[in-house]
């Protein structure tokens, strides 16, 4: 009976296969093509299962991350830290950083203009003049002993020649000719003999005034021809030395006139930071 049952099942299977064999050609597909499609379906099912597993893993990680964030918030709150304040501080820091970047760009532009200005004036060094930064001002230093005789305020011929060269440089440059300048007179600390100027203050003021008057005198009259609206004068006596008044050489350095470039409002910063 057993072998008959087995034989019956075998005959049924054989019949089914025979039926499929007759149906496949009728559908236009061979058995091999059907098997290939089945394998493709199995492969897609495997990929789908893998993607679902990856998605489930990502969901678990996201859930864990959210839980960790909530835990950190709870810890910060317990420590007295307000998340709203943190966000506000972050925004303020971002604004401060943006302002710093803008200020840095402005400083770079000021530095560029300062270097250009100094380069233009640097040509005066060939006349024995010094171009430097003092008291946060760009300064052209003119030796007093070249400009004046001892205790005098009348310009020497050599002094007039130097001032004409300085005036030509300033007058011939569109930017320099628009800048404001201050003529500053300086002396050493040796007491002034009795005279019309009374003391070193008076001598320094009158020397600064003499240099100023020559620079703004019209060219037709033999002067520098500079715009008087851009110039002023001041005397400092012995109160602003560049060297200690301890030797004859140092005292000579202190006897000087300076042409000070008055900075614009935006240039009110430490110019020494721009000097390399």
Q: pLDDT tens-digit profile of 206-215?
A: 999 999 999 9
Average pLDDT over residues 169-194: 91
| 139 vs 102, residue with greater confidence | 139
pLDDT band at 101 (very low <50, low <70, confident <90, very high): confident
CA 271 to centroid of chain Cα atoms: 14
With cut-offs at 50, 70 and 90, classify the pLDDT of residue 276: low
Q: Is 247 helix (H, G, I), strand (E, B) or coil?
A: coil
What is the residue-averaged pLDDT of the chain?
82
pLDDT confidence band for 50 (50 / 70 / 90)? confident
At 194, the pLDDT band (50, 70, 90 cuts) reads: low
Residues 6+ apart with CB under 8 A from 175: 116, 117, 120
- pLDDT score of 269: 58
The pair of structure tokens assigned to 112 is: 């560029």
Using a pLDDT cut of 70, give the percent of the chain over it.
81
Higher-scoring residue by pLDDT: 239, 8: 239
pTM, full prediction: 0.61
C-alpha 218/C-alpha 213 separation (Å) is 10
Whether the Cβ atoms of residue 141 and residue 129 lie closer than 8 Å to each other: yes
| Mean local confidence (pLDDT), 82-98 | 74
What pLDDT sits at residue 181? Answer: 96
Nearest to 158 by CA among 144, 176, 174, 138: 144
Express each pLDDT in 120-145 by its tens digit: 888 788 877 888 888 878 899 999 89
pLDDT value of residue 201: 93
Whether the per-residue pLDDT at 1 is higher than 50: the answer is no
State what percent of residues in the chain have pLDDT above 90: 38
């Amino acid at each position: 009976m057993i072998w008959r049952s087995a034989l019956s099942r075998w005959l049924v299977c054989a019949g089914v296969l025979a039926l499929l064999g007759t149906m496949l050609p009728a559908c236009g597909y061979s058995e091999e093509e059907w098997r290939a499609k089945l394998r493709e379906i199995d492969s897609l099912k495997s990929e789908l299962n893998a993607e679902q597993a990856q998605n489930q893993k990502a969901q678990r990680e996201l859930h864990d991350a959210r839980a960790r964030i909530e835990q950190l918030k709870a810890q910060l709150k317990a420590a007295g830290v307000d998340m709203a304040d943190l966000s506000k501080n972050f925004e303020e820091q971002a604004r401060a950083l943006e302002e710093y970047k803008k200020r840095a760009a402005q400083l770079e532009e000021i530095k560029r203009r300062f270097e250009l200005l100094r380069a233009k004036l640097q040509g005066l060094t060939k006349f024995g003049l010094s171009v430097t930064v003092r008291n946060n001002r760009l300064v052209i230093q003119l030796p007093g002993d070249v400009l004046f005789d001892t205790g005098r305020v009348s310009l020497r011929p050599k002094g007039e020649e130097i001032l004409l060269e300085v005036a030509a440089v300033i007058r011939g440059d569109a930017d320099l000719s628009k800048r404001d300048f201050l003529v500053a007179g300086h002396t050493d600390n040796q007491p002034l003999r009795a005279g019309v100027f009374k003391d070193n203050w008076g001598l320094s003021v009158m020397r600064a005034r003499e240099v100023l008057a020559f620079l703004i005198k019209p060219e037709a009259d033999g002067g520098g021809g500079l715009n008087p609206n851009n110039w002023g004068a001041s005397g400092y006596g012995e109160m602003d030395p560049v060297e200690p008044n301890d030797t004859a050489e140092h005292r000579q350095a202190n006897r000087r006139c300076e042409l000070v470039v008055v900075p614009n409002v935006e240039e009110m910063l430490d110019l020494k930071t721009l000097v390399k």
